[in-house]
Structures are given as structure tokens and as C-alpha cells.
């Protein structure tokens, strides 16, 4: 296993610590993204309740730990101990989350007994969403590098972590940082939700408000301030693969879990489609990679809101240019910041850019899927239906995948079996 840039083809050995970005990234050329080549081990479903232990033989961080000289027992202990630290702060460690048919929701949407909607409920995951999965992979990389002595700091001189987020990613990052006693800076926009600010402050994060500046280039001002902090020595504790490729490692656990759940004899038949809400794009990219590893061939659909849909625009651009299968080499022609001020009830997927768009486009093209842009009315309807017809307390962002189902429901057969991600618990 190694890291390879999807754009320029540069390779980075798995043994290299702190290998966040392609070596050819510069301030004038950020259009690169590293991805992990296939693991040498094959996918095997597991009954181990902690996904990071269940599928560690597939993870890049396990390969990294081995490459820098940590034996198998030490690598396992690091995962176990880090998870125990998370549980002390969050009240739960990492556990496989359920994938269950939502009977009332399926009936309300007119599916047959053969078909329906299966909800992958990550609202009870660490910090209430899938975001901690991405970040835990980075944290394990840091701890293993520190344990192996291949970084310049020690436990007492750690550089700060940094993240740009005002929602679930910020909460997850602050939770994990607190669990490991690691300092963290969280860059948030003006007007961030008070409930989120209160929680991340209580977790000990250094919160930095980021107003838009007239001299800023296009894009999210929080990302600009985050990048400045990283340039000054902070560690990118990011859920964007373009900023830290290691977030794309742990995020695959959700795809491996689903693959194990749908290949079990009790599931009955294959999935036909999977809907994933899309903001920065790491979620759909990682879920799709994990599903592919597990042999799941369902169509992948990325769901966005009409108030901010850069992935759907990039897909259309790539289609118009005839480069769907070579989108990585047409980055500037396909992906750029959303011009209008992003707006939606699902405010957690309003990224100006879909940072991990290359993998997302590849996954949808590979599986015969497509992006779906939901109207604002359906974003709100999906949230209401999630609360009326399931027992989850999901947020508007977390139910946005269901909005994608509603948007193209007439194109979906009544016997089709659909998986929808619910990730992000509602917060007052």
C-alpha cells in the first residue's frame, strides 16, 4: 500500500509520516489529492464491535504502523487505548452502527415489501456523526508516529491540531483532541451555531472566528485561516482529503460495515442504490471505497441541496466535456467555489467546494450512479419524514441523503432496496 496522487501520479511511501498532501501541492497549485492504493489483504466480514479493530488489516494506518516498526500487538494496543480515551470523553467508543430497514418510512414512500429504505444510523457514533471516523484515522497516525519516534515532537511538545468547521466535524475534532490531550484550533464562520460553539468551547478547543475579508480569494474564509495555521506548523486535522489524505482512511470503515451487513445471510438481497449527503465529499468517497472493497455494487448517489451544489455542477461539466472517466485532469474546468452565498436548511453540507469531488465523481461513474440536487422544500420534507417515520433524532444535514431519494423517487422502482445515511444528531 502507498499513497498516490490522482492528478499528477506522484507516489508517497506508506512509511512516510505526516504525509498529508501530494508533494507537488503549492500555494499556486492546490489541485492535487492523494489516495490510498489497494490493501494487499482481502475484505473479510467481522463480528468485532470496534470497526477500527475489525478492519484494521485493511487500513492504511495499520500499514503505516507496521512500516515504521511497530509490532502487531503494539498497533492493536494503540487503537484500543485511543478508543478507550474517546469513550471517556464521548461516553462511547467506536462501534459498528446499525443498518436497518425503516418500515414506516418505506411504506410512506410507497416501496413494496421486497424493496424499501434501509437507514445506516451513525447518529449514535462518537460525537454524533461519521466525522469522527475520518479524524480517528488521522489521530491514530499521529499516535503511531509519536510512539515510533519518527516525528520531531514528543507527547509534551505536540503542535496544535487545526480544523475549519462549524458543525459535526468541529465537535468530532474537539472530542478526539480532548481524548488524547492534544491542543486544537477550530476555525469557525461568523454566526456559527451557539450550541456548537458552546460544546467545542467546553471541550477545550481554541475557537477562532473567521469573517470574510475583502482581500481573500474566492472560497471559505475558514479554510483560508486554517491553511495559514497549517503553514505556521499546525497539523491539518481535517475531513477534507485535499488537506489531509489520512482522513480518507478511517472514513472507509462505514463502507466496510455496510458491506458486511448487506452480505450477511439475514439481509436477503443486494442493495440497489446508496444515497450519501455531500458537503466536502469525503463521506461519499470513503463510503464508496469501503463498499467496493466489500463487493457491494449498488449505484452511488451524492445528494446536495439546490442552495449549494458544486458536485452536481462538476459532474455536468465533466459530462459536457466527455471527461467523466478522467475528471482529475480537468479540475479547474469542473470544480470551483460556489459563486452565490451557500444556503440551505441542511447547513452542514454548504461547503463552497466539494473538495473530494474527484473520488466522488469516480465512484458515481463506476457504479452507474449520479449526483442528485434536492429542492429546499424536499430537504425540509426529508427532515420531517425522518422524524415522523423513524426513531432517529437526525439533523437536517444528516437526513439530506433522504432528500435525494425524494427528489428522484419516481425513477426508483418500488422493489429497489435503498440505503440512506443518517449521520449528524440534531442539536438545539
Q: What confidence score (pLDDT) does residue 428 get?
A: 66
Q: Are residues 203 and 285 in the same domain?
A: no
pTM: 0.95
More confidently predicted of 306 and 214: 306
List pLDDT tens digits, range 228-256. Answer: 999 999 999 999 999 999 999 999 999 99
| Last residue of one domain, picked from the residues 248, 277, 300 | 248
Q: What is the pLDDT of residues 53-98, one digit of tens each?
A: 999 999 999 999 999 999 999 999 999 999 999 999 999 999 999 9
> Cα separation of 389 and 364, whole Å?
28
- Distances 207 to 174, 259, 280, 403 between C-alpha atoms, Å: 10, 38, 21, 32
- 300, 359: one domain: yes
Q: Which pLDDT does position 219 carry in this prediction?
A: 77
Give domain status of residue 315, yes or no.
yes
Report how far residue 359's alpha carbon sits from residue 311's, in angstroms, rounded to the nearest whole number. Answer: 11
End-to-end Cα, the chain, rounded Å: 43
In a domain, 135, yes or no: yes
Number of C-beta neighbours around residue 377 at 10 A:
12
Confirm whether 391 is domain-assigned. Answer: yes
Does 203 share its domain with 121? Answer: no
Q: How many folded domains does the chain comprise? A: 2
Average pLDDT for 321-334: 96
User: What are the pLDDT digits (tens) for 360-417?
Assistant: 999 999 999 999 999 999 999 999 999 999 999 999 999 999 999 999 999 999 999 9
In the prediction, which pLDDT does 427 show?
A: 81
Nearest of 252, 247, 245 to residue 55 by alpha carbon: 252
Q: What is the mean pLDDT of residues 318-337?
A: 96
Query: Which residue, of 198, 230, 248, is where some domain finishes?
Result: 248
Q: Report the range of poorest mean pLDDT among 85-94, 103-112, 184-193, 300-309.
A: 184-193
Read off the pLDDT of each residue in 423-428 and give the average, rounded to a whole number: 85
Choosing from 248, 283, 307, the residue where a domain stops is: 248
Q: Do 19 and 104 have their domain in common?
A: no
What is the Cα–Cα distance from 103 to 38, expressed in whole angstroms? 37
In a domain, 62, yes or no: yes
Q: What is the pLDDT of residue 141?
A: 98
Same domain, 10 and 44: yes
In this prediction, residue 336 has a pLDDT band, given cuts at 50, 70 and 90, of: very high
Tell me: do 103 and 146 sit in the same domain: no
Helix (H, G, I), strand (E, B) or coil at 370: strand
CATH of the domain at 78: 3.40.50.1100
Chain-centroid distance, C-alpha 125: 13
Contacts of 372 (CB under 8 A, 6+ apart): 275, 301, 302, 303, 304, 312, 404, 407, 408
Distance CA 105, CA 386 (A): 8
Cell numbers that stand for 393 in this block: 433524532
- The closest alpha carbon to 208, from 164, 171, 156, 240, belongs to 164
Q: What is the rounded average pLDDT for all residues in the chain?
A: 95
pLDDT of residue 41: 80
**Mean pLDDT of the region 288-300:** 95
Range of the domain at 19: 2-91+131-248
- 258-280 burial, b at 16+ Cβ within 10 Å, e below that, comes to bbbbbeeeeeeeebbbbbbbbbb
Over residues 327-338, the mean pLDDT reads 95
Q: Does 285 fall in a domain?
A: yes
* 340 within domain boundaries: yes
143 & 208 share domain: yes
Residue 80 shares a structural domain with residue 107: no
- Residue 428 belongs to some domain of the structure: no
The answer to which of 34-43, 119-128, 295-304, 328-337 has the lowest mean pLDDT is 34-43
**Judgement on whether residues 68 and 212 belong to the same structural domain of the protein:** yes
**Amino acid 218: pLDDT:** 80
66 and 204 both lie in a single domain: yes
pLDDT tens-digit readout, 164-223: 988 899 999 999 999 999 999 999 988 888 988 999 999 999 999 999 898 888 878 999
Domain shared by 267 and 352, yes or no? yes
Q: Please indicate, yes or no, if residue 427 is contained in any of the structural domains.
A: no
Same domain? For 73 and 191 the reply is: yes
Amino acid at each position: 500500500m502507498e499513497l498516490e496522487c490522482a492528478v499528477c501520479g506522484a507516489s508517497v511511501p506508506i512509511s512516510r509520516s505526516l504525509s498529508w498532501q501530494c508533494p507537488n501541492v503549492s500555494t499556486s497549485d492546490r489541485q492535487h489529492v492523494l489516495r490510498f492504493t489497494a490493501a494487499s489483504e482481502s475484505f473479510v466480514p467481522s463480528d468485532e464491535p470496534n470497526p477500527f479493530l475489525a478492519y484494521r488489516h485493511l487500513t492504511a494506518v495499520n500499514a503505516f504502523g507496521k512500516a515504521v516498526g511497530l509490532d502487531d500487538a503494539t498497533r492493536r494496543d494503540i487503537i484500543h487505548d485511543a478508543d478507550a480515551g474517546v469513550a471517556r470523553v464521548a461516553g462511547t467508543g467506536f462501534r459498528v452502527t446499525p443498518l436497518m430497514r425503516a418500515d414506516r418510512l418505506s411504506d410512506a414512500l410507497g416501496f413494496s415489501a421486497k424493496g424499501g429504505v434501509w437507514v445506516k444510523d451513525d447518529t449514535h457514533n462518537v460525537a454524533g456523526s461519521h466525522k469522527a471516523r475520518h479524524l480517528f484515522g488521522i489521530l491514530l497516525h499521529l499516535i503511531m508516529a509519536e510512539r515510533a519516534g519518527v516525528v520531531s515532537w514528543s507527547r509534551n511538545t505536540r503542535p496544535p491540531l487545526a480544523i475549519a468547521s462549524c458543525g459535526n466535524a468541529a465537535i468530532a475534532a474537539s472530542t478526539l483532541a480532548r481524548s488524547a490531550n492534544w491542543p486544537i484550533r477550530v476555525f469557525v464562520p461568523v454566526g456559527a451555531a451557539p450550541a456548537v460553539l458552546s460544546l467545542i468551547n467546553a471541550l477545550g478547543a481554541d475557537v477562532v472566528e473567521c469573517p470574510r475579508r475583502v482581500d481573500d480569494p474566492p472560497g471559505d474564509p475558514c479554510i483560508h485561516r486554517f491553511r495559514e495555521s497549517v503553514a505556521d506548523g499546525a497539523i491539518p486535522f481535517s475531513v477534507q482529503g485535499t488537506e489531509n489524505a489520512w482522513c480518507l482512511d478511517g472514513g472507509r470503515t462505514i463502507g466496510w460495515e455496510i458491506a458486511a451487513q448487506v452480505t450477511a445471510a439475514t439481509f436477503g438481497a443486494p442493495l440497489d442504490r446508496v444515497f450519501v449527503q455531500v458537503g466536502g465529499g469525503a463521506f461519499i468517497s470513503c463510503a464508496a471505497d469501503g463498499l467496493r472493497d466489500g463487493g457491494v455494487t449498488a449505484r452511488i448517489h451524492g445528494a446536495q441541496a439546490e442552495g449549494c451544489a458544486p458536485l452536481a455542477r462538476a459532474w455536468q461539466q465533466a459530462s459536457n466535456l466527455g471527461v467523466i472517466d478522467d475528471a482529475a485532469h480537468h479540475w479547474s474546468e469542473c470544480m470551483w467555489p460556489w459563486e452565490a452565498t451557500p444556503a440551505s436548511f441542511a447547513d452542514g453540507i454548504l461547503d463552497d467546494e466539494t473538495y473530494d469531488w474527484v473520488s466522488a465523481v469516480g465512484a458515481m461513474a463506476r457504479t452507474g450512479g449520479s449526483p442528485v440536487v434536492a429542492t429546499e422544500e424536499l430537504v425540509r420534507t426529508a427532515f420531517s419524514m425522518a422524524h415522523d417515520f423513524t426513531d432517529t433524532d437526525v439533523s437536517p444535514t444528516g437526513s439530506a441523503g433522504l432528500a435525494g431519494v425524494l427528489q428522484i423517487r419516481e425513477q426508483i422502482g418500488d422493489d429497489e432496496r435503498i440505503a440512506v445515511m443518517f449521520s449528524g444528531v440534531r442539536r438545539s
